Amino acid sequence: EVQLVESGGGLVKPGGSLRLSCTASGFTFSDYAMNWVRQAPGKGLEWVSSITRGSGYTNYADSVKGRFTISRDNAKNSLFLQMTSLTAEDTAVYYCARLLGSAWFSGYWGLGTLVTVSS
């Protein structure tokens, strides 16, 4: 069974940094590209970032480009999102998601981790 467990969320002050982690199990992690998707409280879904299997290609939403960095450690079945210069607009539940196959939509989702940016 595919399992994705996010961690690292919490309360951070504006301008601060946070590193999210996602631990994967139930599949061969290195075989799949991965996404981060977020959802602000009471709002819709927003794609944040994607990374290919071997980390050779990454992409970011304009809203986070230059501030967030996606990475992965295939040996540890882990996906990361390093977030810097956080603002209140980054407050959201952050979901780690695995592609179903090779197309970029998310087939499997974690339960999410809440990031709150507030002073």
Partner 1 sequence: EIVMTQSPVTLSVSPGERATLSCRASQSVSTNLAWYQQKPGQAPRLLIYGASTRATAIPARFSGSASGTEFTLTISSLQSEDFALYYCHQYNTWPLTFGPGTKVDVK
Site for partner 1, rule CB under 8 A: 35, 37, 44-47, 50, 59, 61-62, 95, 100, 103-112
What is the nearest approach in angstroms of partner 1 to the Cβ of residue 16?
Answer: 25
Closer to partner 1 by Cβ: residue 18 or 48: 48
Both tokens assigned to 68: 């967030």
CB 48 within 8 A of CB 81: yes
Closer to partner 1 by Cβ: residue 11 or 100: 100
What is the nearest approach in angstroms of partner 1 to the Cβ of residue 76?
Answer: 22
- Contacts of residue 40, defined as CB under 8 A and 6 or more positions apart, other chains included, come to 46, 89, 91, 92
Whole-angstrom Cα distance, residue 65 to residue 44? 20
What is the nearest approach in angstroms of partner 1 to the Cβ of residue 6?
Answer: 10
